[in-house]
């Protein structure tokens, strides 16, 4: 049975067109792009074409694109580079709702003696702008903030933050892993110095990412070795995945506007119908500034894990909190930072859509979800209390 896949913020299906362009590089075109001979050397040109396609999606110049192994590597590299190049500046600013790719790395640097400020958010997941302005000081080496949150979809005002940082001459990195391919984004108009993206969130494969570094920004590589990527990221290129990522970016760029509209209409229909048919349900995150594909809903008096298991029986894939933290029963750090009550955090479910999500997928969820919630509430003492049956 084909799943109803609504967990696209965890990872996306590889587009068939992406797989097609990759396959020759696993078979006949296995050369090394750094080789002198034509067999390997010809791959260099293909990698450069992919670089140009990635650059076009975010409005960058191709030479500002560094291929990495994933979004996590891009995030780590950006922060590390800023810190290494400014040994006199020991302060890093980030937020409480970042992905572990940033949050855990900042905690690691804190253990090594850096001062890290984790900015708070309000009950809708919005950044505290005043706290942001006050926290940046002469010791700040870098500010690393996500463009859009993976759990709630909430979008941070990165253009505004970047403007402040430009005036203060502080390096600005954004984790745009969840934004690229979902929102129009142009680094020519966005005052950011570095930006991370990840292939598997936009229908390319896992294990390839990008760090954009604005021309003129000083940069120190994290992975050191050969001369690949102009000495900015050593290691023989992951040619097939890079070429696949180029294709994925080309497709995303061609369909961005229409998909943004279509997917947000599907998401809104799903959300509004569930809110109407499941009492004691709330949206988590600012509904006026969110990714078009994401909804995070709390169904009070039920366990998110129980909902997921029941959805799974119907072939529906969703997530309770972040994919990277599921598997542990720790309540989501994002929802906690927003001050969402524990009863609501425990019943939170994230649905995340993609360009492969159909009307029929949404119909299926709308049909099965209200009875699931009713049944689970009837089973739980809290639920029975809430619906007046005790």
Residue 98 CB, shortest distance to ligand PLP, in Å, is 7
Residue 323 burial (C-beta neighbours within 10 Å; 0-12, 13-18, 19+): middle
Instruction: Give 117 or 294: the residue with its C-beta nearer to ligand PLP.
Output: 294
Task: Decide if residue 150 touches ligand PLP (CB under 6 A).
Answer: yes
The correct pick among 50, 55, 101, 194 for binding ligand PLP (CB under 6 A) is 101
Given the rule CB under 6 A, which of 70-78, 125-133, 213-221, 298-306 is the region that contacts ligand PLP? 70-78
Which position's Cβ is nearest ligand PLP?
71
* Burial of residue 314, with CB atoms counted within 10 A of its CB: 0-12 exposed, 13-18 middle, 19 or more buried: middle
Q: Cα separation of 108 and 111, whole Å?
A: 5
CB of 55 to ligand PLP, least distance (A): 19
Which range touches ligand PLP (CB under 6 A), out of 66-74, 231-239, 252-260, 311-319?
Answer: 66-74
Coil, strand or helix: which one is 191? coil
Quick one: which segment of 33-41, 68-76, 237-245, 270-278 binds ligand PLP (CB under 6 A)? 68-76
Q: Which is nearer to ligand PLP, 86 or 196 (CB)?
A: 196
CA distances from 10 to 23, 151, 294, 362, 382 (A): 24, 9, 11, 18, 30
**Closer of 14 and 324 to ligand PLP (Cβ):** 324
The smaller minimum CB distance to ligand PLP, of residues 80 and 387, is found at 80
C-alpha 82/C-alpha 101 separation (Å) is 16
Among 4, 43, 106, 146, binds ligand PLP (CB under 6 A): 146
Q: Please state the closest distance from residue 313 (CB atom) to ligand PLP, in A.
A: 26
- Options 51, 53, 99, 377; binder of ligand PLP; rule CB under 6 A: 99
Contacts with ligand PLP, 281-320, as mask; x by CB under 6 A: ----------------------------------------
Please give the structure tokens belonging to residue 210.
């990008």
Cα–Cα separations (whole angstroms), residue 177 to 190, 228, 269: 16, 23, 25
Contact 349/307 with Cβ under 8 angstroms? yes
Closest CA to 144 of 109, 112, 113: 109
Of 101 and 376, the one with the shorter C-beta distance to ligand PLP is 101
Encoding tokens for residue 186? Answer: 């142009």
- Contact pick of 47, 141, 155, 175 for ligand PLP (by CB under 6 A): 175
Select 150 or 354, whichever has its Cβ closest to ligand PLP.
150
- For the CB of residue 149, give the shortest distance to ligand PLP in the complex, in Å: 7
Give the span between the Cα atoms of 97 and 146, in whole angstroms.
Answer: 8
- Provide CB contacts within 8 A for 188, sequence distance 6+: 59, 60
**Phi first, then psi: what are they for 22, rounded to 5°?**
-80, -35
- Tally of CB atoms within 10 A around 70: 19
Active site residue 317: no
CB closer to ligand PLP out of 175 and 250: 175
- One residue of 12, 76, 198, 298 binding ligand PLP per CB under 6 A: 198
Nearest Cα to 94, choosing from 112, 113, 75, 67? 75
| Residues recognised as catalytic | 324
Residue ranges in contact with ligand PLP by CB under 6 A: 70-72, 75, 99, 101, 146, 150, 175, 177-178, 198, 200, 209, 324
């Amino acid at each position: 049975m084909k799943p109803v896949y609504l967990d696209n913020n965890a990872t996306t299906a590889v587009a068939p067109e992406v797989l097609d362009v990759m396959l020759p590089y696993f078979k006949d075109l296995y050369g090394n792009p750094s080789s002198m001979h034509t067999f390997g050397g010809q791959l260099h040109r293909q990698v450069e074409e992919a670089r140009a396609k990635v650059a076009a999606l975010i409005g960058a110049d191709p030479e500002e694109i560094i291929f990495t192994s994933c979004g996590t590597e891009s995030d780590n590299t950006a922060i590390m580079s800023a810190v290494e190049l400014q040994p006199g500046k020991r302060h890093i600013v980030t937020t409480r709702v970042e992905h572990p790719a940033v949050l855990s790395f900042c905690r690691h640097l804190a253990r090594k003696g850096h001062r890290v400020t984790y900015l708070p958010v309000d009950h809708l997941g919005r950044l505290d702008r005043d706290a942001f302005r006050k926290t940046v000081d002469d010791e700040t080496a870098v500010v690393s903030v996500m463009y859009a949150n993976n759990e709630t979809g909430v979008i941070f005002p990165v253009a505004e933050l970047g403007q402040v940082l430009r005036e203060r001459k502080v390096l600005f990195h954004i984790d745009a892993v969840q934004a690229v391919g979902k929102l129009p984004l142009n680094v020519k108009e966005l005052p950011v110095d570095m930006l991370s993206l990840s292939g598997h969130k936009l229908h390319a494969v896992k294990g390839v990412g990008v760090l954009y570094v604005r021309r003129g920004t000083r940069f120190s590589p994290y992975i050191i070795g050969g001369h690949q990527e102009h000495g900015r990221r050593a290691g023989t290129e992951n040619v097939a995945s890079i070429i696949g990522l180029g294709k994925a970016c080309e497709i995303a760029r061609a369909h961005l506007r229409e998909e943004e509209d279509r997917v947000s209409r599907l998401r809104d229909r799903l959300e509004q119908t569930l809110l109407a048919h499941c009492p004691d349900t709330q949206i988590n995150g600012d509904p006026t500034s969110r990714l078009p594909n994401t909804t995070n809903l709390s169904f009070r008096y039920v366990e998110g894990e129980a909902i997921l298991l029941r959805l799974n029986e119907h072939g529906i894939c969703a997530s309770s909190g972040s994919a990277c933290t599921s598997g542990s029963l720790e309540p989501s750090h994002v929802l906690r930072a927003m001050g969402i009550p524990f009863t609501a955090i425990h019943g939170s479910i994230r649905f995340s859509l993609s360009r492969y999500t159909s009307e029929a997928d949404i119909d299926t969820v709308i049909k099965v979800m209200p009875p699931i919630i009713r049944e689970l509430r009837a089973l739980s003492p809290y639920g029975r209390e809430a619906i007046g049956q005790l």
